[in-house]
A and B are shown apart, each in its own frame.
Chain A
Amino acid sequence: MTSYLLETLKSRFPQAVLETHAFRGDETAVIAKDALTDVAAFLRDDLGFDILMDLTAVDHLPREPRFELVCHFYSLRHNYRLRLKCPIGGEAPSVASLTGLWAGANWFEREVWDMFGIKFEGHPDLRRILMYDGFEGHPLRKDYPLQKRQPRIPHRD
């Protein structure tokens, strides 16, 4: 079955779309990291995706590239949904920020920075959002020690 959205993306960005798949109506496109901003702008301005519903990440350690950014888009006008995935690798993973396109990306990206340590270039205020000041490391990384605790005040006993 051919999908209008995925076919449109593939014909518009033949180099950037690495892979597509669809499962029971959930359509996904895997996009090269460098093209993320262009593809996202095309989604918003030409395909009518006015809402960024979610932006998160997955740590696929030991796979390389290690991280994958996952963005869920929704179009109120057309009742379309689309998922973009974007592999990110390297010692200091980073990707372009989507805050310029959807203001709602701000806190999502802060959370991904906090939990996975992925930097968002162009983000206006990239601070931790959940963990406290002085917390070291990024706890949802697969190599964060399971039993590691970082108390803010000394524990009794």
Chain B
Amino acid sequence: MGLETAFGHSYLTTRLDEAVNWARKYSFFNYPFVTACCGMEFMAAFASTYDIARFGAEYPRFSPRQADVLFVVGTVNEKLAPVLKRVYDQMCEPKWVVSFGVCATSGGFYDNYATVQGIDKIIPVDVYIPGCPPRPEAVLDALIKLQEKVSKESVLDRKYR
């Protein structure tokens, strides 16, 4: 039996922010917005070897309405930008965005007529992962960074965003 048996029918006191953020940061539902080769590394990071379930973030939802974290994985071009914006707008608060790889972050080496020079031109971004593509360790690092960020938020912040 676990720790809970030692507590019995007792209760704990904490701040609401602490309790809510603790729940939020260990239960990210991801929406993978995968457009390019970074997708392969995304799959590697989310497969069993790196076991992203350790962070409670292993559950991809392919509807933005059910997702908390938008992973933008790969190059986003001007033609696709309205789609990305729409996916972001469809997500419910609280929501976070991870920019996966240099193309999503800054356009990468695609400095041309077609490519958006970083998805932060379209939507706000919480965590950027550098790399072409990023190693799975970098993805886990970003996830931990995002958890840290979430744990510092207040439940009152969200509705004013």
Contacts and interface: CB of A to CB of B under 8 A. Distances in A.
Interface of A: 130-132, 139, 144, 148-153, 155-157
Given A152-B78, A156-B122, 10 more contacts: A130-B79, A131-B79, A132-B79, A149-B113, A151-B121, A153-B122, A155-B121, A155-B122, A156-B120, A156-B124
A151 B78 contact: yes
Interface of B: 78-79, 81-82, 85, 112-114, 116, 120-124
B107 to A, nearest CB: 11
Contacts of A152: 78-79, 81-82
Contact of A153 (B81, B112, B120, B124): B81
Contacts of B120: 156
Nearest to A155: B121
B79 to A, nearest CB: 5
The secondary-structure label for the interface of chain A is loop
Contacts of A130: 79, 114
Nearest to A139: B113
11 contacts: A131-B114, A139-B113, A139-B114, A150-B113, A151-B116, A151-B121, A153-B85, A156-B120, A156-B121, A156-B122, A157-B121
A157 B116 CA distance: 14
Contacts of A155: 116, 121-122
Contacts of A149: 78, 113
A116 to B, nearest CB: 13
A130 B79 CA distance: 9
A150 B114 CA distance: 8
B113 A148 contact: yes
A156 B97 CA distance: 15
Contacts of A131: 79, 114
Contacts of A144: 113
A9 to B, nearest CB: 37
